[in-house]
Chains A and B, each alone.
Chain A
Amino acid sequence: NAGVTQTPKFRVLKTGQSMTLLCAQDMNHEYMYWYRQDPGMGLRLIHYSVGEGTTAKGEVPDGYNVSRLKKQNFLLGLESAAPSQTSVYFCASSYLGPQHFGDGTRLSIL
């Protein structure tokens, strides 16, 4: 079982560049989430979705956009990358139970 798959696994960007992180889940979950994880701060929710075509802001949404055009996919976009967005990004999915996580995307902004 693939579960939650994130691509890419690593990426280095220059300040001002844009990119999209892809998350795919094969568990037919309604809910999907994007988090960032920074040292000493735990997981912080960026955006989430409670179903296809819907998105909502989390705790730290500024500088990010998301789209959920298909139930199994949740995309996270950085329009103009900033060094403060250097982090590890995790996608998760769930429905009426625990969240299942991907293995993360390690993103560095120079």
Chain B
Amino acid sequence: GESVGLHLPTLSVQEGDNSIINCAYSNSASDYFIWYKQESGKGPQFIIDIRSNMDKRQGQRVTVLLNKTVKHLSLQIAATQPGDSAVYFCAEISGTGNQFYFGTGTSLTVIP
């Protein structure tokens, strides 16, 4: 099976600082990656995605970096706010393109 994992289960940052959440994947054939945010009591919410033909993609206050050489994915959140406190998952898709594989998540806590 696929293996999608996160380096750190928890992360605490000061409000206003930048946050970096990391993810490792094992299938070199994976060609689509997604970051999700999950708040307590809610379902995962799409943040940003990236395809394997790209190394970097930016959104509003978020940037995803993909390093295919070491099979590593990261999510950078600029000027972290209290509302960013949540669990963040990475997901990869490969093969026939309709099954996603999820990591266990990193819990981000923003300290006011």
Chain A residues within 8 Å of B, Cβ to Cβ:
4, 31, 33, 40-43, 45, 48, 50, 58-59, 90, 92, 94, 97-104
Selected from A33, A42, A48, the residue in CB contact (under 8 A) with B89 is: A42
Chain B residues within 8 Å of A, Cβ to Cβ:
1, 34, 36, 41-46, 49, 89, 91, 98-100, 102-105
Task: Indicate if the CB atoms of A101 and B45 lie closer than 8 Å.
Answer: yes
Specify which chain A residues have a CB less than 8 angstroms from the CB of B91 in the assembled complex. Answer: 99
What 8 A-B pairs have minimum CB-CB distances, sorted nearest first? A101-B43, A42-B104, A43-B102, A98-B46, A103-B43, A42-B102, A101-B44, A98-B34
Chain A CB within 10 Å, residue with most, of B91, B102, B103: B102
A41-B104, A103-B41, A103-B42 as given contacts; A97 in contact with B49, CB under 8 Å: yes
Specify which chain B residues have a CB less than 8 angstroms from the CB of A104 in the assembled complex. Answer: 41-43
Task: Indicate if the CB atoms of B98 and A100 lie closer than 8 Å.
Answer: no
In the bound complex, how far is the Cα of B103 from the Cα of A40, in angstroms? 10
Specify which chain B residues have a CB less than 8 angstroms from the CB of A48 in the assembled complex. Answer: 98-99
A41-B104, A42-B105 as given contacts; A102 in contact with B98, CB under 8 Å: no
Specify which chain B residues have a CB less than 8 angstroms from the CB of A92 in the assembled complex. Answer: 43
A40-B104, A103-B41 as given contacts; A45 in contact with B99, CB under 8 Å: yes
Specify which chain B residues have a CB less than 8 angstroms from the CB of A101 in the assembled complex. Answer: 36, 43-45
Specify which chain A residues have a CB less than 8 angstroms from the CB of B100 in the assembled complex. Answer: 33, 45, 99
Specify which chain B residues have a CB less than 8 angstroms from the CB of A31 in the assembled complex. Answer: 98
A31-B98, A43-B102 as given contacts; A98 in contact with B41, CB under 8 Å: no
